[in-house]
Amino acid sequence: MQLRARVPVTRQVVLVPDMATLIDEVSKWSTKGHWPVLIEDDVRNSMFVRRFRPERVLRRESVGAMPADRGSREAAIEQAAANAWGHRGATASASAAALGLPVPAGLIVSDATDPAAAAALLLSAGRGQDIAWVDVNAGRPNDVLDLDSTMALRRAVEAAASSTGRSWGALGDGIDAVTFCRGAAARVMTRLPIAGPGKSGDEVALTDVIGRLDDGSRWAFTGWIFGSAERAAYMANCSLFLPRLDAWLCDTYPNSQPWARWGLQSAAEVLESAGWNVDLRTDETLTSLRGATMSGLRSDLVLFNSKGNADFFRMSGDVDADPGDVPILDLPAVVSMIHSWSLRSPDDVNSVGGRWLEHGAYAVVGSSAEPQLSAFVAPDLYARRLTGGVPVLIAARWWMAQSPAMAAVWRINTLGDPLMIAPPPQGTVRRTVKPEMPLATGVVDMEAEAIAAMQQAEQSPSDEAFAIAIDAVTLLGRDQISAALWNAAAHQSLAGPQSARAAFGSLFRLGDREALQEAWSFLTRPTSFECDMFWSALSPTLGEGTSDSVLQSLARTLTPGGAVARAEALAPILARRFGTAAGVRLVNQAVALAETTRGRRALQALRDRVGG
Give the list of residues 6+ apart from residue 597 with CB closer than 8 angstroms, or none: none
Q: How confident is the model at residue 199 (pLDDT cuts 50, 70, 90)?
A: confident
Does residue 39 fall inside a structural domain?
no
What pLDDT, on the 0 to 100 scale, is given for residue 448? 97
Residue 167, pLDDT score = 96
C-alpha to C-alpha distances, 343 to 143, 347, 599, nearest whole angstrom: 12, 9, 18
Considering 364, 390, 414, which residue would you say is the last residue of a domain? Answer: 414
Beta strands (DSSP E) in 211-291 are 221-225, 246-251, 277-281
Looking at the fold, whether 458 and 559 belong to one and the same domain comes out as: no
Same domain flag for 290 and 348 = yes
- pLDDT tens digits, one per residue of 434-490: 998 888 889 999 999 999 999 999 999 999 999 999 999 999 999 999 999 999 999
Q: Domain check: are 452 and 410 in the same one?
A: no
pLDDT-based confidence at residue 425 (cuts at 50, 70, 90): confident
The answer to whether residue 11 is domain-embedded is no
Whole-angstrom CA distances from 427 to 11, 296, 423 are 19, 29, 9
Confirm whether 112 is domain-assigned: no
Domain assignment present for 405: yes
Q: Are residues 567 and 486 in the same domain?
A: no
Give the list of residues 6+ apart from residue 214 with CB closer than 8 angstroms, or none.
192
- State the DSSP code for 134: -
> Treating both helix axes as pointing N-terminal to C-terminal, what angle do 528-538 and 513-520 enclose, rounded to 10 degrees?
140
- Is residue 550 located within the same domain as residue 520? no
Identify whether residues 322 and 455 lie together within a single domain: no
Give pLDDT tens digits for 592-609.
999 999 999 999 999 999
Query: Residue 132 pLDDT more than 80?
Result: yes
**pLDDT higher at 103 or 228:** 228
Q: Are 554 and 514 contained in the same domain?
A: no
CA distances from 176 to 46, 107, 218, 222, 392 (A): 34, 8, 9, 9, 14
Pairing of strands 187-188, 144-145: parallel
611 and 519, same domain (yes or no): no
Q: Is the pLDDT of residue 198 over 80?
A: no
Our count of domains for the chain comes to 3
Among 361, 392, 414, the domain boundary falls at: 414
Whether 113 contacts 70, CB under 8 Å: yes
Q: Is 420 part of a structural domain of the chain? A: no
Least confident of 169-178, 400-409, 586-595: 400-409
Does residue 382 fall inside a structural domain? Answer: yes
Are residues 473 and 342 both part of a single domain?
A: no
Q: Between 564-578 and 580-593, two packed helices, what is the crossing angle to 10 degrees?
A: 160
Q: How high is the pLDDT of residue 428?
A: 67
The whole-chain average pLDDT of the chain stands at: 96
Identify the sign of the CA torsion 258, 264, 270, 271.
positive
Number of residues that make up the chain? 612
CATH of the domain at 366: 3.40.50
At position 435, the amino acid (one-letter code) is: P
The pLDDT, as a whole number, for residue 103 is 85
Q: Is residue 441 part of a domain?
A: no
Buried b or exposed e, range 550-581, using 16+ CB within 10 angstroms: bbebbbbbbbbbbbbbbbbbbbbbbbeeeeee
- % of the chain at pLDDT higher than 90: 92
The Cα 18–Cα 513 span in angstroms is 36
pLDDT classification of 6: cutoffs 50, 70, 90? confident
Q: Which residues span the domain enclosing 547?
A: 542-612
Whether 420 and 393 have beta carbons less than 8 Å apart is answered as yes
Rounded to an integer, what distance in angstroms lies between the CA atom of residue 191 and that of residue 189?
7
Given 368, 398, 414, the domain boundary residue is: 414
Are 219 and 147 a contacting pair, CB within 8 Å? no
Same domain for 513 and 553?
no
The percent helix, strand, coil of the chain (3-state, each to 5) is: 45, 15, 40
Is residue 523 located within the same domain as residue 550?
Answer: no
Residue 41 CB coordination number (10 Å): 17
How many of the other CB atoms lie within 10 Å of CB of 342? Answer: 30
Model pLDDT, residue 499? 98
Interval 208-234 mean pLDDT: 97
Output 571-580 pairs: Cβ under 8 A, ≥24 positions apart.
571/606, 571/610, 572/609, 572/610, 573/542, 573/543, 573/544, 573/546, 575/610, 576/544, 577/548, 577/551, 580/610, 580/611
Same domain, yes or no, for 452 and 406? no
Q: Where are the beta strands (DSSP E) in 416-504?
A: 432-433, 443-445
Note the pLDDT of residue 170. Answer: 96
Q: What are the phi and psi torsion angles at 342 (to 5°)? A: -60, -35
**φ/ψ (deg, to 5) at 41:** -155, 125
For 521, other C-beta atoms within 10 Å of its C-beta total 14
Average pLDDT over residues 221-237: 98
Does residue 167 fall inside a structural domain? no
Identity of residue 295: S
